[in-house]
Chains A and B, each alone.
Chain A
Amino acid sequence: MTHYAMVIDTKTCIGCTDCVDACRMENNVPEGLCYDWVVEITTGRYPVLKTEFRSERCNHCSHATCVEACPTGASQYWNDSNIVVVDATKCTGCKACIAACPYDARLIMQPQGYIGKCTFCVQRVQYGMDPACVAVCPAHAMHFGLLDDPTSTVSRLLDERDNYTLHPETGNHPNVFYLR
C-alpha cells in the first residue's frame, strides 16, 4: 500500500484560509461547502495566550471507517494507497460514511447528492504534483509526500519535529500530521 501523508507546520501557518479557497477552485466545490477548513486554537490564560492554526481535512486514514461502512463500495482506497476517494457512480447518498467519519470530513454534494470529500487532489497527485492546498500555501506550511520514502520531505519533517495527529485514539490511523 502506497502511504501518502500531509504534514502541516502549525508554527508557520498564519490561518489565511488560502488552502480552503484553492481547494474550492481546484475541485469545483459547490458554494457554501468545503473539503477543508481552518481551526484556530487558543490556549493559555490571559494575557499569556497562545494561538495555533490548523488546516484540517479528511485524514485519509490507513484504517478508514468510512470505507468500512460503505455498503456499495463507492468509498474506496485510490490505487492501493491510503487516499480515500468516492466513486460518484456507485454512491447512493446513504450517508453511512458521514456517520462513520470521526473527523466530520464528508458532505453531501449539492444538488447531485453523492458524497464529497477531500481527495488529496488525486487528479494532481497522479501526475506527481502536490494537492492544490499544499501548492498554494503562501507560508509554505504544508507538505505532501510519501511516507514510504525515508528521504521525502514529509518523512524527514516527522523524524525531526515533534508532531501529532487528530484523535489517533479512534484507531483510524490518520495521515495528516501537525508539527509543533
Chain B
Amino acid sequence: MREEVLASVLANPRVEPHLAIWGWQIATYLFLGGLSAGLLIFSGWVVATRRVGRAPFAANRAPLIGLIILSIGMGTLFLDLERKINVWRFYAYLNPTSPMSWGAWILIAVFPVFALLAVAGLPDGFPQLAGKLRELPVVGKSTMAPLIDMCGVIRSPLAVAGIGLGVALGIYTGVLLSGFNARPFWHSALLGPLFLVSGLSTGAALLVLGAGTAEERHLFSHIDLGLIVVEIALVFLFLIDMLNGDALQQHSVFLVLGGGATELFWIGFIGLGLAVPLTLETAIWQRSTALIAGVASVLVLVGGFLLRDVMVTTGQQTSWASFHNQFNASLLAKLRTDGENPNGRF
C-alpha cells in the first residue's frame, strides 16, 4: 500500500476548485481563434487562387466577420487574465520557449493583415458600409477612400500572407496546450494539427452557413466533409498516442474513456460534432439542401467548441502530483455556519 495524504493544505485547484487554471474564457478563445484562422485561410485561398466569383461570401464578407470573431476571442482571452493592467507586458518581451508569447505576437501580426483583407472585401461584400466609409467627414475622402482602393490593389499578396498567418494561428492554439510537459493529457504534438484541422472545419462550416450562392455552399460543404474525416483520424491518433504513452498519459486519457469527461467527449464532440455532420454531409454530397447543410454546419461549430472545452478542462486536471486531500472542504463547509473557508484555517 502507498497512500499520500496532505497533512497541511495545498493551494491547488484539485484541493480548492476555485483555483482552476483556465475556464470557459480560454476554451472560447481557442475555439474562436481556430474559427477565425479557418476563415482567414479559406478567404486567402479563395482570393489567391482567383475563385472570388465562385465564393463571394468567403472572399468579400468572411474577413470582416472573422476579424470580429477574433476580436471577441481576444476579448475573452483578456477576461481570463488575473492581472489585466499588465496586459501590455505581452508586447514588451518575446520568450522563444513560450508558446503563449509566440501566440501574442502571431495575433499582433494576424490582426492588421486580417483587417486590410476585410477592407479589401468591403466594396463587393458590404457596399453600403464601404460607401459610408468613403463619405465620412474629414477622413472619408482623404484616408478611407485611398485605403479601400489600396487594399484592393494589394489583395493578392495580403491573401497569401493571410494563409500563412492563419496556419500559424490555427496551429498555435493547439501548441499552446501541447507545450506543457506538466499536464500529461495535453502533452501530444498531435494537438497542433488537430486544432488546426478543427479550426479549418469550423471555418468551412461558417462559410456554408453564410454562403452567397448554392455553388459556394456546395464547395465548402465538400471541403468540410474532407476536414471532418481528417479530424476524426487525428482524434483517434491522439487517443492511441495517449494510450501508448507513459503511465501518466494512460491514466489521464481515461478521463475521456470512462471518466468525468466521457459523455461530453463521445456524445457531444465525437457524436454530435463529428459523426452526425459527417453523415449529413455525405447524404447531401450530390444534391445539397440549405437546411441540412446548415444543421450540419451548426453541429460542426458546436463540436469545435466542445473539443476545446473538453481539452482545456480535462487537461488541467491531470498532473504529476496526486494527493488525497485529508480535509474534505465541501463536507467541512456543511458543518460551518459562518461561511469561513474550512481550508483557510490550516
Contact = CB atoms under 8 A, between A and B. Distances in A.
Interface of A: 15, 17, 20, 31-34, 36-46, 49, 53, 65, 68-74, 88-96, 98-104, 107-108, 112-115, 166-167, 170-171
A92 B87 contact: yes
B7 interface: yes
A103 B86 CA distance: 26
Nearest to B322: A104
Contacts of B6: 37-40
A91 B100 contact: no
Contacts of B86: 72, 89-93, 114
Nearest to A35: B11
Question: Secondary structure at chain B's binding surface: helix, strand, loop or mixed?
Answer: loop
Contacts, number: 165
Given A20-B8, A34-B8, A92-B83, A71 B93 contact: yes
Contacts of A90: 86, 89, 92-93
A17 B90 CA distance: 38
Contact of A32 (B8, B11, B83): B11
A94 B81 contact: yes
B128 interface: no
Contacts of A43: 1-3
Contacts of A45: 1
Chain A CB count within 10 A is highest, among B19, B81, B84, for: B19
Nearest to B82: A93
A36 to B, nearest CB: 8
B100 A96 contact: yes
A50 B180 CA distance: 34
A41 B8 contact: no
B83 to A, nearest CB: 4
Contacts of A17: 7-8, 346
A108 B7 contact: no
Interface in B291-346: 316, 319-321, 323, 326, 341, 343-344, 346
A contact patch SS: loop
B95 A68 contact: yes
A95 B182 CA distance: 13
A40 B97 CA distance: 35
B10 interface: yes
B30 to A, nearest CB: 13
B241 interface: no
B2 A69 contact: no
Contact of A15 (B7, B11, B92, B99): B7
B180 A99 contact: yes
B21 interface: yes
List the 10 closest A-B pairs by CB distance, nearest first: A93-B82, A113-B82, A32-B344, A71-B101, A93-B83, A113-B83, A72-B89, A68-B97, A102-B182, A71-B100
A65 B316 contact: no
Between B12, B182, B344, the greatest number of chain A beta carbons within 10 A of the residue's beta carbon is seen for B182
A69 B10 contact: no
Contacts of B81: 92-94, 113
Contacts of A94: 80-82, 100
Contacts of A72: 86, 89-90, 92-93, 95, 101
A40 B7 contact: yes
A99 B101 contact: no
Contact of B323 (A39, A93, A107, A115): A39
